[in-house]
Amino acid sequence: MPEETIFSKIIRQEIDTPLLYQDDLVTAFRDIAPRVDTHILIIPNTLIPTINEVTEEDELALGRMITVAKKLAEQEGIDEDGYRLIINCNKHGGQEVYHIHMHLLGGQPLGPMLSI
């Protein structure tokens, strides 16, 4: 698994990406290829490749990801109509960057959970 990802560079602002939120535990920014009207990524500042590598020490950061998602949904005005939070894990789960990231999706009807 990687020791460095594109997200690591965004966290350190080595890649010019406007941040929507950042604190000592998590960082949030808009997805560069949004799938819906609102598509924000929320990531822990510590590199955790997949959910399979999560430990008890990561609980605070993962919890913060959810509270930040709530705040951003309110700021984006999508909290009342609803939104979806997704974390993909590994190839079959659709994970493309091996640094845990939560997708905050909303701003339009999202349809069924899966379309296989």
What are the catalytic residues? 101
Q: What is the 3-state secondary structure (H, E, C) of the chain?
A: CCCCCHHHHHHCCCCCCCEEEECCCEEEEECCCCCCCEEEEEEECCCCCCHHHCCHHHHHHHHHHHHHHHHHHHHHCCCCCCEEEEECCHHHHCCCCCCCCEEEEECCCCCCCCCC
